[in-house]
Structure 1
């Protein structure tokens, strides 16, 4: 399957994106394994992590046939090829840089740029984004998502990123959010494999309560 087809399949199975900022190559396989056992099928290693391309390479080699692995905090189009060469198939950015989006699409990878305003969202979608992430969600409310969903294309998933807790998931979903990017609430640098598994299961269980 293509990266986009895998994204849609995994996102439908579990609409959570794990953001493992700060993970090291030595920990990468164990942490990814905990996330996978917890039910999460989409994992991004931010490029401001220690040796991120090596972590992506390790995780993709182990889980790339059953999960979607990629990079976050991608700020420049040149980084897209580097991530692809490491086995990544997902490019996530904090902003709506259309050059990065277009490079991602051209490479056959999944583009998930960040946005905050409707103008940014529409620019990203026009450039080919496969999903858009509302970031930072701490500065927004479910009412913002509800208003934006009324005008945004329904076939482009809206992913809420920033400060999401298992307890807050219901409010966002009720407003129309399609999924969530989970950072510090799911993984912090140095966190154990067991703690990562428990947190992943808590978020997945919160989805199941809907």
Structure 2
């Protein structure tokens, strides 16, 4: 799978708004869940590395839906993780923290880098290291007004993550380029029917 350009990734994020976070997904569920998300217009899909056989799941997703979606990894904490994501043909790296080595390795391998931050100091450290976008985490705890204040000094696109759901998604999207949605879309044991219904409702909500 060819690496995605920042221009194309940014365009998709701006248009579709949502990065689906699949935390705890099993390899046998990856294809079906990804297809359900894509059917509902969600084509940025993050498989977290604290999921069982995460690198295998990333590879499955790339093979199954890579032509119609952008597959990446979340909860990426080490340089070795970045290398393994690249081997699995993932296209973006999302972390809950700022690790300059992880950011630099991501860029070295041509991957989109989206590290997590909470404070302005962390954000500017990430930008100086080469981050393409920034993940504000936990955004739901901090609130929309906090994100608005940050955007006054931060020009780098922000993805709001953590506690984002149907009730607050519009508020965050009034400030952020996109949002990362986890349990409101997927959690282990959730039926395909429930995932489909929630995906449809969330997408409908941001369009109305």
Name the TM tier (shorter chain): over 0.9
**Residue correspondence of structure 1 range 15-164 to structure 2 within 5 A:** 15-153=17-155, 156-164=156-164
Normalised to the residue count of structure 1, the TM-score between the two structures is: 0.94
Q: Post-superposition shift, 1:13?
A: 2.3
Q: Is contact 2:172-2:179 (8 Å) kept?
A: no
Any conservation in 1 of the 2:139–2:147 contact (CA below 8 Å)? no
| SS of structure 2 residue aligned to 1:160 | strand
Q: CA deviation at 1:2?
A: 4.5
Identify the residue that residue 170 of structure 1 maps to in structure 2.
170
**Alpha-carbon distance, 1:96 to partner:** 1.1
Q: Distance in 2 between matches of 1:29 and 1:2?
A: 21
The answer to whether the 8 Å contact 1:159/1:177 transfers is yes
Q: Secondary structure at the match of 1:130?
A: coil
Do 1:11 and 1:41's aligned partners in 2 also have CA atoms closer than 8 Å? Answer: no
SS at match of 1:119: helix
Shift of 1:195: 1.4
Q: CA deviation at 1:81?
A: 1.1
Give matches, 1:188-207, under 5 Å.
188-207=187-206
Q: Which runs of 5+ in 1 are unaligned?
A: none
Aligned 8 A contact 1:34 1:194 in 2: no
Q: CA deviation at 1:64?
A: 1.4
TM-score, length basis structure 2: 0.95
In the TM superposition, what whole-angstrom CA distance separates every residue of 1:163-192 from its partner, at most 9, and x where no partner exists?
Answer: 111121222233x12210001111110212
How far residue 194 of structure 1 moved from its aligned partner, in angstroms, is 1.9
Contact persistence 2:38–2:68 (CA under 8 A) = no
Shifted more, 20-29 versus 6-15: the winner is 6-15
Q: Give the whole-Å Cα distance in 1 for the aligned partners of 2:199 and 2:114.
A: 21
Which string of whole-angstrom CA distances, capped at 9 and with x for unpartnered residues, describes residues 139-177 of structure 1?
Answer: 301111111000001xx2211101111121222233x12
Q: Distance in 2 between matches of 1:159 and 1:119?
A: 17
Q: Please give the secondary structure, in 2, of the residue aligned with 1:69.
A: strand
Question: Gaps (5+ residues) in structure 2?
Answer: none
Query: How much is the aligned-residue C-alpha RMSD, in angstroms?
Result: 1.3
